[in-house]
Each structure stands twice: as structure tokens, then as C-alpha cells.
Structure 1
């Protein structure tokens, strides 16, 4: 029995040939810059970047679309550029995006990280969206192709605009390939010491170094407002029942204690033993 239509179209063959190169000035090394419909607006200067692990919208584009800042959802993890720059996004926003032309087009709700830093581009489409579109990109032909219910859709890059953007990128030394740091189970996060009582170095705690500045400030303020829950020494824990925990020697109380002869050590070892005993005391 023939499979349903919606199962067939996702497996359409997508190929490129010399017809796709029509109108492209060769040779070239231009980036793939396209136009998409975002929230019913034709948005230009959109870079298709297979190296980016995030979909990015720069703050000026967010403002030009007249989006309410209240729509931003918190996003506390930093993103990193190729040269190691770390930026904390303003937040994440979900927007309706259409790619292609009727009837061979796709419309999805996509999540964008809103970033406040200079850029020649308005938006960067990275691997999350390209994978969702099941898209194939070809920089030689400056074209993106993707399967739809009505056949293979496509969107062609704007070579003139791509060169303008690229010249601006070179002039300002911009970074436009961003990655989100992936969490690893065996990764140990670096910590920083935070003094909770000014002038008292013994009263401090440690917090993670990857927190956003805003979250770091709020966390430290929270600790300072709740100093009474910290136990800096045994004196801060009076009244604890021995039923909770206590240390004891695993010996037979019916046996008479035997004092061993004192052992003699070299001066270096003797000093080391004394230092360790003083630490325990």
C-alpha cells in the first residue's frame, strides 16, 4: 500500500545543478545572506551560518520589529564567539518565521536569542533552524533548499547585500558565529570565593563563575540577607542532639587502655606531625 503523502514529502530528493548558479557572479566567496518573513515583516540581512549552534537576533532588529521586551524569556547561559568572547543574551523570544514562496514554503515558531552587540546582520540562522527545516545549503550557489508538502522549496541569497555585509564585518572585526556552551556530566564548574561579611575572610562562600552578572548580584544579596543560616564554627551550632551525629572510637569499653611508647621521628617529620595535629585541634 502506498504510504501517506505527508510521509513521502519529507524524503524528497534535493539536488543542485548549474541552473541554481544562474545570476550568481563567479568566482565568489560570499556568505549566504537571505531574506525571511519574521512576524509578517520581510527581514533582510539574515546570515545562514552552519557553524552557529544558536539562532541569533540582534537587539536593533528586535526593536525595529516593535516587539515588546516583556516577551523575552530568561536565558542565563552565556554564548561564545570563535575568538572566545562571552556574551549574555538579553533573553529568548519565540517568533513566527516563514521561509520560501507560496506554495513551497515553511512556517514555524522559532526561538531566537536576543543579543546586544554590534553586527552588520539582523539575524543569524544556525543549525537549530536548519535542522528543523531539514534544509540543504550550498554556498557556491548561494541557495537554501528544503522539503515542503508541495515539493522542494528554496530561498536564494542576495549576493549584493552579502558583499556589503561582509565588507562591514571586515571593517569592524565582528564576530557572528556563536555557540552555546554544552553541559557535560563530568564537567566541574569553576568557583569563585565571595566574602559575605566585609573584613571577615573566614565568612565566605563559593559560587559558580558562569552566572550572569544580574544573577550573581541577586544570589550574593540573598546570601547576605540570610547570614543567620550559615554555621561558621561549632559555636554557631549549639543544642545539636548527639542522636543526629557524634564521633566515637570503635573500642571495647571493658578493656583497659594501654599507652604505647612514644615513637621518635626526624625533625622534619616531627614538625609535619605537629602541624597536622594543630590543624585537627
Structure 2
């Protein structure tokens, strides 16, 4: 969630909402500026109602590469004590097209390259049970970065060292990494190959010329019955506003985007902090995606 590996997430097929608890909301580095006001209330199975603090939209990645899927999830943020950090309910499970087995403690979902699965951690399950039943102190529920698919079985101290190589003496920032454990002749061959093909690397958006429209074009398959949606503008803190302006200026200078004068559809941007402290800018295309017809056969067809 938002570039952090979050433990103790409850998969609840009986919940009609996705919930993020305020303690986890703060640990993710989010503030009140990331909240959108909400007037509705939440009602539990006991009949008790609570007013959420608001909603926040963040990217959530399920599974590990190469079989992973990332969704922008709108969580209701509630300020209640809980042994969990978040609850994933039916809205996201349906979008994920997930199948849940509580007996096997596994969640399976389709991706572009096959079916992936997410299994619960037995140790976390035991700690969670102890927390709920015996009120033991909680263990740290976050780590800085998501673990790789083999992190649990790999010795992190035996990671291979790499050599940084500059491909352009005039551009010291153009660095590539070569494994240091390669044989000497393999290193020479690899470095020579990289130098000969340095033009295929894209270091800035200006290095990406794009695809000629005569070769391929992409279009949005919007339903003719869909009505345009203009999302209500969101307010950002000064540092986030500057990050948005810098990113938009960079994309404009690279001619990857252009300003339009017909704001039929308007979607807000969503900022997520990277591990290096920089901001990652996304666009909330929830309304636009909802209006697009689903194509179960995306491959070219011959009529």
C-alpha cells in the first residue's frame, strides 16, 4: 500500500466497504490533506454506526512480480482501535476478480501472465490471535519496501555486488550496473555490448520519441451512454503542489502530454511517496475506467 509493505490486512468477503484504520493511515505518511470528506456512516454487524473521517485513494499491489496487480483503492478511514491495519472488502475483491479460501488461508486472482496467489503468514496469524485474545503488544506492521517473491527464502546478506558503469563520459548520471561475480571475459563482453547499444536506454522523457500513429493507435472504448464526469478538485499541501507542477512541466517539455481546452472529463492526480523520498504521480481514472466497455478479447480481430 502506497509503497509500503503492510501486514495484518483482513480479507472480508462480507464487508461492503474497504477500511483503512487511522493508525495505519498515519504510518503510511498520509495527512488530513489526503482525506476527502464523507457524509455517509458505517454500520457493523452489531448495528452500531460510526462516521468515517473521510476517504483516501492509494495504490494497492497484490502479489509479486511478474504476476501482480495494482489497483487504486478508495479506503474509508476510521479512527478506531483495531488489531488490523486495513480491511479489503467486496468492492476491491470484485475488481481484483479474487477467489478466497479461508480454510487454506489463500487469495487467488488472475493477472496478465497467469494466476497469482497471496497467502497469510502463519506467524502473523498467531501474533494477531494473541493480540486480540490476550492484548499482547503489536509487532511492527510495516516495512519500508515490499519484499520480493523469494525474500523469505533468500539470504539478504549474500546479495551479489554490482559495478556501476558510465556509458557517456559527458553524462556521469548515465549509469548501468553489471554483476561483479561475472567472469572477466563476460564482464568485458557485457560492457562492450552496453556501450554499443547505449542509444536504446531512455534516461529522460525526451529520449522516448513515441510510436508513429501510422503503426499503432490507442483509443478509449467509452460507452456511448456514459456521461462525462468532472471530479471535484482536490487540495494539496505546498510541497505536493510543487511536485505536481514539476512533473507536469517535465511531461509538457518532453511533449508526452499537451494542454486541452475542452475539459469534458477531469480526473485528479494522486501522489504517492517513493522509498527515496520523491513523489510518484498517478491519475485517478476510476470514473473513466468505469465508463469504458470491457473487452474480453483485446487481440486484433479480422472481420
When the two structures are superposed, what TM-score results if normalisation uses the length of structure 1? 0.47
Select the structure with the greater relative contact order (CA < 8 A; seq sep ≥ 6): 1
Bigger Cα Rg:
1
When the two structures are superposed, what TM-score results if normalisation uses the length of structure 2? 0.43
